[in-house]
């Protein structure tokens, strides 16, 4: 094996796409997926590659320093792709400490273990931290987040991710740990846990349940197909400069209400329902506390320096995503049995 790479959070949404890409594209890399398997982690997401000779899964917690150290001792990692996180804003509002524990403490444990393992020889090592555009805060109706935009996180989730980004840069500047970072806009695609807007609405449309829109539905997000995100990560991991940050986004802004209407339109047609039927399910509910108005990414540095461009138009990506959920309803049923029911009850029925 030419390299051994640790992927954290590889059983989650983005992590599973990233793991699949690396296992398939780089047969000479050994890929070790470390995941705690929280409610968001699911080994079903990786069924197609679980038997690959260059892939290994290990269950564990990134915030357990002695365990993480033992992983570095055992596997002699050359690189880390750090995806593991608590990732849902609404859950961070309900339980901020879990976000500090995984996103901040967990990231620092990984940095510390990588530094200890690599301190003698940092050559050809890479610690790649995967982050979000939410660290930049909220935009008004104009402008874009660039790599130079000042951090202004406003939810417990984004504050914990911002803090982890600062620690990654601190390890670069203080200890010369070879790091790279990227901050990406909202992802969508297969294996997205149905607590997030797009898969939640797809699932509710299938079952003719209400589509909960926070506030007036005017908040804007910049959506990127998950495979385009992981292709950018691949490029940055191999060609990006050490110590640098790259913004990743699709120049694809949608207000929540327009996005949900587009979903309804496509699903009515795919499910042979009457045009306009699913839109009847739209239900305006109490707004999210501190709801960021707009996110929009300027990814021109990534395009200019590394030649990356998103491959898919949104309508096509959305159509592929809906088809995947329609063909994988057992996956949806499995991930929404058990603790999801309590979450849904607390999040949507206390309003």
Q: Which is nearer to ligand TYD, 84 or 213 (CB)?
A: 213
Task: Check residue 126 for interaction with ligand TYD (CB under 6 A).
Answer: no
Residue 91's nearest CA partner among 155, 34, 161 is 155
Q: How far is the CB of 143 from ligand TYD (least distance, A)?
A: 18
What residues contact 249, with CB distance under 8 A and at least 6 apart? 133, 184, 185, 222, 224, 296, 297, 298, 299
**240 and 180 Cβ atoms separated by less than 8 Å:** yes
Q: How far apart are CA 276 and CA 264, in angstroms?
A: 7
CA of residue 162 relative to chain centroid, distance? 15
**86 and 103 Cβ atoms separated by less than 8 Å:** yes
Residue 240's nearest CA partner among 179, 157, 159, 316 is 179
Residue from 68, 89, 108, 263 in contact with ligand TYD (CB under 6 A): 89
Applying the rule CB under 6 A, the residues between 254 and 293 that interact with ligand TYD are 256, 288
Residue from 5, 6, 7, 9 in contact with ligand NAD (CB under 6 A): 9
Residue 1's nearest CA partner among 50, 56, 46, 49 is 56
Q: How far apart are CA 161 and CA 44, in angstroms?
A: 27
Of 55, 128, 157, 246, catalytic: 157
Task: Check residue 281 for interaction with ligand NAD (CB under 6 A).
Answer: no
DSSP H stretches of helix in 176-213: 197-206
Can you spell out the DSSP letters for 275-298?
TTTGGGGEEEEPPPTT---B--B-
Task: Check residue 219 for interaction with ligand TYD (CB under 6 A).
Answer: yes
Q: How far apart are CA 99 and CA 155, in angstroms?
A: 11
> Is 133 an active-site residue?
yes
Out of ligand NAD, ligand TYD, none, which partner does residue 214 contact, by CB within 5 to 8 A per kind? ligand TYD
> Is 279 an active-site residue?
no
**Residue located via tokens 């790479």:** 5
Of 86, 90, 133, 147, catalytic: 133
Applying the rule CB under 6 A, the residues between 287 and 346 that interact with ligand NAD are none
Out of ligand TYD, ligand NAD, none, which partner does residue 84 contact, by CB within 5 to 8 A per kind? ligand NAD
What are the Cα distances from residue 242, in Å, to 10, 170, 173, 274, 334? 23, 13, 11, 53, 40
Task: Check residue 138 for interaction with ligand TYD (CB under 6 A).
Answer: no
Out of ligand NAD, ligand TYD, none, which partner does residue 41 contact, by CB within 5 to 8 A per kind? ligand NAD
Applying the rule CB under 6 A, the residues between 148 and 187 that interact with ligand NAD are 161, 184, 186-187
Size of the site for ligand NAD (CB under 6 A): 30
Task: Check residue 162 for interaction with ligand TYD (CB under 6 A).
Answer: no
Out of ligand NAD, ligand TYD, none, which partner does residue 78 contact, by CB within 5 to 8 A per kind? none
Q: How far is the CB of 187 from ligand NAD (least distance, A)?
A: 4
Q: Which stretch binds ligand TYD (CB under 6 A): 11-19, 169-177, 210-218, 328-336?
A: 210-218
Q: Which stretch binds ligand TYD (CB under 6 A): 39-47, 195-203, 261-269, 316-324?
A: 195-203
> Is 323 an active-site residue?
no
Q: How far is the CB of 342 from ligand TYD (least distance, A)?
A: 16
Residue 351's nearest CA partner among 215, 179, 161, 151 is 215
∠ at Cα 111 (129, 41), nearest 5°? Answer: 55
List the 220-225 sheet strands across, edge first.
186-188, 220-225, 253-255
Q: How far is the CB of 2 from ligand NAD (least distance, A)?
A: 26
Interface ranges with ligand TYD (CB under 6 A): 89, 186, 196-197, 200, 212-214, 219, 221, 256, 288
Residues serving a catalytic function are 133-134, 157
Interface ranges with ligand NAD (CB under 6 A): 8-9, 11-15, 35-38, 40-41, 61-63, 83-87, 102, 106, 130, 132, 161, 184, 186-187, 193
């Amino acid at each position: 094996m030419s390299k051994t790479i640790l992927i954290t959070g590889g059983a989650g949404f983005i992590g599973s796409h990233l793991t699949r890409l690396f296992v398939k594209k780089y047969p000479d890399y050994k890929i070790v997926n470390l995941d705690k398997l929280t409610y968001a982690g699911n080994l079903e997401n990786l069924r197609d590659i679980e038997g690959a000779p260059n892939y290994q899964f290990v269950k564990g917690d990134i915030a357990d320093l002695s365990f993480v150290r033992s992983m570095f001792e055992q596997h002699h990692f050359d690189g880390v792709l750090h995806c593991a996180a608590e990732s849902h804003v609404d859950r961070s509002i309900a339980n901020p400490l879990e976000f500090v524990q995984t996103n901040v403490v967990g990231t620092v444990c990984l940095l510390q273990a990588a530094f200890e393992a690599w301190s003698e020889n940092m050559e050809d090592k890479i610690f790649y931290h995967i982050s979000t555009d939410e660290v930049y805060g909220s935009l008004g109706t104009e402008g874009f987040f660039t790599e130079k935009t000042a951090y202004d996180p406003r939810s417990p989730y984004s504050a914990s991710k911002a803090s982890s980004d600062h620690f990654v840069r601190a390890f670069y500047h203080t200890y010369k740990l070879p790091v790279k970072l990227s901050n990406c806009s909202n992802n969508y695609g297969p294996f997205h846990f149905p607590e997030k807007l797009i898969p939640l609405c797809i699932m509710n449309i299938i079952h003719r349940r209400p589509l909960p829109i926070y506030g007036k539905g005017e908040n804007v997000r910049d959506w990127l197909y998950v495979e385009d995100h992981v292709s950018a990560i691949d490029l940055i991991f191999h060609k990006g400069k050490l110590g640098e940050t790259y913004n990743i986004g699709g120049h694809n802004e949608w207000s929540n209400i327009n996005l949900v209407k587009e979903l309804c339109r496509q699903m009515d047609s795919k499910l042979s329902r009457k045009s306009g039927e699913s839109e009847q399910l739209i239900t305006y509910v109490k707004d999210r506390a501190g709801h960021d108005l707009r996110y929009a990414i300027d990814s021109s540095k990534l395009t200019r320096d590394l030649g990356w461009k998103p491959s898919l138009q949104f309508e096509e990506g959305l159509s592929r995503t809906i088809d995947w959920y329609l063909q994988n309803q057992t996956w949806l049923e499995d991930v929404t049995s058990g603790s999801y029911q309590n979450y849904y009850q607390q999040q949507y029925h206390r309003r």
